[in-house]
Amino acid sequence: MLYPILTKNSNEKITTTWVISPSFQDEDVKKIMNRLDSNRWGDLGIYSEEGINIDKTNRKAKSQLLHPNPQDGHPFTYLSSVISTINDAHWNFDIRYIDFFNDPPAVFKYEVGGKHDWHVDYNPTQSTRKLSYTIQLSDSNDYEGGDLGFFDGSLNTKNPVFRQKGTTIVFPSYVWHHVTPITKGVRYAMVGWIHGPTYK
């Protein structure tokens, strides 16, 4: 015997794995890159709640935090509008903010050997993450390997559109994804998360 679970609403859009938006022009990307400081790169890893790096093999990259430009909010004023439009069209999640204090966006730098194995961005310590985004900051021919891929029923690890500079890829934070190892050159990407009330 089955007992129904009645809900007040439904969301028929929730199955979309990822969405691509050709959001940022070369000048926008240049503004982001010009704000980076060569002395501020920090090594990434998998960290415990106490801030201890507990896994240096799953993720190999460097990063530095990126906050809004104090004059015009670049790139987040525009980015928030893009993501809001994408969310309305594809997921209808209850999203509220970018958390610059507890979960700030960052630029990732993947050098030779750099990678991030299969993972999801949603976890018990980040339970308010609803959407994740990646903005491609490098030209496709600046590096080899380093492909962003999603698990969408198959191990899809290559999509040429993901490598186009200025492209924004948005996806639910519970979707499995990875970045394959860099074999030549350097890849830069800006990553961040959109928060809202935790799932319940």
Note whether residue 106 is domain-resident: yes
Note whether residue 47 is domain-resident: yes
Q: Return the pLDDT at 107.
A: 98
CATH, residue 96: 2.60.120.620
pLDDT exceeds cutoff 70 at 174: yes
Note whether residue 10 is domain-resident: no
Name the residue range of residue 90's domain. Answer: 19-195
- The per-residue pLDDT for range 53-88, each reduced to its tens digit, is 556 678 899 999 999 999 999 999 999 999 999 999
Note whether residue 107 is domain-resident: yes
Check whether the bond before 75 is cis (ω within 30° of 0). Answer: yes
Rg of the Cα trace of the chain? 17
For residues 148 and 190, give the distance between their C-alpha atoms in angstroms, rounded to a whole number: 13
Query: Domain count of the chain?
Result: 1
- pLDDT level of residue 25 (50, 70, 90 thresholds): very high
Note whether residue 76 is domain-resident: yes
Q: Return the pLDDT at 115.
A: 94
CB count within 10 Å of CB 139 equals 15
- The per-residue pLDDT for range 87-106, each reduced to its tens digit, is 999 999 999 999 999 999 99
Burial class (CB in 10 A: 0-12, 13-18, 19+), 58: middle
Instruction: Name the average pLDDT for the chain.
Output: 89
- pLDDT level of residue 152 (50, 70, 90 thresholds): confident
For 175-199, b/e burial (b = at least 16 CB within 10 A) is bebbbbbbeebebbbbbbbbbeeee
Note whether residue 11 is domain-resident: no
> 50 or 27: whose pLDDT is higher?
27
Structure pTM? 0.89
Q: Return the pLDDT at 47.
A: 53
HEC letters along 15-64: CCCCEEEECCCHHHHHHHHHCCCCCCCEECCEECCCCCEEECCCEECEEE
**CA-closest candidate to residue 152, choices 131, 171, 180:** 171
% of the chain at pLDDT higher than 90: 72
Question: What 8-state DSSP symbol labels residue 97?
Answer: B
- pLDDT level of residue 12 (50, 70, 90 thresholds): confident
Residue type, 120: V
